[in-house]
A and B are shown apart, each in its own frame.
Chain A
């Protein structure tokens, strides 16, 4: 028989109409599922009582894949078919993986367009399919614990996940048969789990160092509402990197160097992970490795050595914290609470240095591995209607500016970064040439001024623009970002109403440059970017003026005397010459000169065209219409 849970006053459901909802933390190293039962959030254990599900999948040629601890245990024996840390490859293109994955012990299919694909005994599998296997196990666990089908789930993602990575996560959920209520940024979920929404107003920092990602989020609580002021981090930094640092140290110390095969590297990585965990409570951890030549290598890893191995990694996280605080316009002392999330924050060195930066002890009362899942469960509970919705409203931000390409390879930002979502913004654009009837809209993400320095998300065409003179058509481009951070761009020509749109389907062939790097670049190159923008703008203007002048001269050359024509031609030649230079002020100067000398010509053309219109009509015809 089914069990009953206590519900909020007035929210009892009819029998068999339970609104079962769970929160899932789909982690790099471990995944969890949590739900709200009788008003309290808790993670759900499997039959053997363990809550963490290692995000590891082992594929076989002749049987269904194995997920979790058993798969992790076999990682050393069957490295090519045992896939761990797949989250790092979510939404990544094949070529990206080639570069980031050089030390990953898997075999990848060739570097072509499309998603990364891993070769296993069960054939080629995508990161989405691997993640779906993990999600299926959590779904089954939740449904047997709750005694019914799930209405929906909230899945958490790092704040820095871009559209492609978010979409890949949704695809994985769909493949696992789950309905995603929404994707929630992990730090935001952690804040909810700690009930910071019920606490005092002010600024909170969420420091989340997980297995494969680092996120720092600055949240502002005001009237019970969270606003994400800024997010930052590194989508390729986490506890795994500590393991790698230790593993490399072991390989060097033991004399194996680069000579280890897949099998040995996996074994050493596993040893490194265990040592890291032991060092949380112990002063040193014993290491023992059987070398390829049969000899046994033994050594102890001390806390001090470990600290020095991971210090560069910790420093990177602290730099990201400082940058993000700057983005939010804050200094570390203005942060009221610092919350630690993620298994890697158990490392004493991490806690000490975070405390040092913020000048206060961080909060870490809840199990740092579970807080994100708990927060997701609370959010899911609200979204399916088990709680009055006005109890909480969460705002997320977009991590990088979104815009479109304009003439000269420049980026016009439509939505600036750190804008809270969901959001819709419109901007009007126009045609560049006379009679232009189509326009290519290229959607870009990034902080730089030039298209080539930003990430291209999508491109589409708007056709059927009525042929008008340059600058007369009005094309309204609307960017819409939904609550999951997914983007929809539409363009509409306002006089005819023709429209065209694109849902930003992630182009899996992502650039290697990470958000982190893109942000840093935008600061490093701010000055030169502005110069380039000024130059390009003047060049575009020069081209436009020269083109319309050429058009006017071919139509109405008769209006000019030979000497007048010479003056204009000379000024135009000067513009054409300087247009290829790099001095935007010089171009601006000769453009003004050209405008001055051709003013009279323009006036004559206008008079003539008015005369043309009036010729053959009587004045009364016009006054009747007035």
Chain B
């Protein structure tokens, strides 16, 4: 299991990190909030935490704290476009239900 990402997502992350000029990778996380209980986090990482689990896919380091990993294990990160809008999507096998907006979910 672990965390993976699609080619499209990897290309974008690499480009964003390069443009930003610093950062060692990407943090995926879960926070308790939002309309269905849990919400995703997606951040650049400058200073990894000791407890972080580190995954590497397509040359990109992905950091996940152990608590979040319970909800995220097996997730594939994707990048997509719809109309004028574009951005990252979580394909998370643990999700049983998500709110209409897709920003928060229940496992």
Contact = CB atoms under 8 A, between A and B. Distances in A.
A14 B44 contact: no
Interface string A26-42: 00000000000111100
B43 A6 contact: yes
Given A9-B47, A38-B16, A3 B84 contact: no
A7 B86 CA distance: 15
A12 B42 CA distance: 7
A4 interface: yes
19 contacts: A1-B100, A1-B101, A3-B87, A5-B42, A6-B16, A6-B26, A7-B44, A8-B44, A9-B44, A12-B29, A14-B39, A15-B33, A15-B34, A37-B87, A39-B16, A39-B20, A40-B16, A45-B84, A146-B85
Interface string A43-55: 0111100000000
B85 to A, nearest CB: 5
A40 B46 CA distance: 16
Nearest to A1: B102
Contact of B43 (A11, A46, A144, A145): A11
Contact of B103 (A6, A16, A46, A198): A16
The A contact surface, by secondary structure, is loop
Contacts of B33: 14-15
A2 interface: yes
Nearest to A7: B43
A31 B4 CA distance: 40
B46 A4 contact: no
A6 B47 CA distance: 16
A177 interface: no
Contacts of A15: 33-35, 39, 99, 101, 103-104
Interface string B35-69: 10001111111110000000000000000000000
A458 B100 CA distance: 54
A12 B13 CA distance: 17
B19 A40 contact: yes
B90 interface: yes
B30 to A, nearest CB: 10
Given A11-B43, A47-B84, 13 more contacts: A1-B102, A2-B85, A2-B101, A3-B87, A3-B88, A3-B89, A9-B46, A9-B47, A12-B43, A39-B16, A40-B16, A144-B83, A147-B85
Nearest to B98: A1
A476 interface: no
Contacts of B46: 9
Contact of A2 (B20, B35, B43, B102): B102
Nearest to B104: A15
Given A12-B41, A12-B42, A14-B34, A1 B89 contact: yes
A144 B85 contact: yes
Contacts of A3: 80, 82, 85-89
**Residue from A3, A7, A47, A145 with most neighbouring chain B CB atoms (10 Å):** A3
A198 B88 CA distance: 28
Contacts of B27: 9
A352 B98 CA distance: 59
Contacts of A2: 85, 87, 101-103
B40 A4 contact: yes
A145 B88 CA distance: 13
A141 B84 contact: yes
A10 interface: yes
A571 B44 CA distance: 84
Contact of B42 (A7, A46, A144, A147): A7
Contacts of A147: 85
A198 B21 contact: yes
In this complex, the member of A6, A11, A47 whose beta carbon has the largest number of chain B beta carbons within 10 angstroms is A6
Contacts of B89: 1, 3-4
B83 A47 contact: yes
Contacts of B21: 198
5 smallest CB-CB distances across A and B, nearest first, come from: A3-B87, A1-B102, A15-B34, A15-B103, A145-B84
Contacts of B40: 4
For B26, B83, B85, which residue has the most chain A Cβ atoms within 10 angstroms?
B85
A5 B87 contact: yes
Nearest to A145: B84
A3 B78 CA distance: 10
A569 to B, nearest CB: 82
A46 B21 CA distance: 29
A168 B1 CA distance: 58
A171 B42 CA distance: 37
Nearest to B84: A145
Contacts of A40: 15-16, 19-20
A419 B31 CA distance: 47
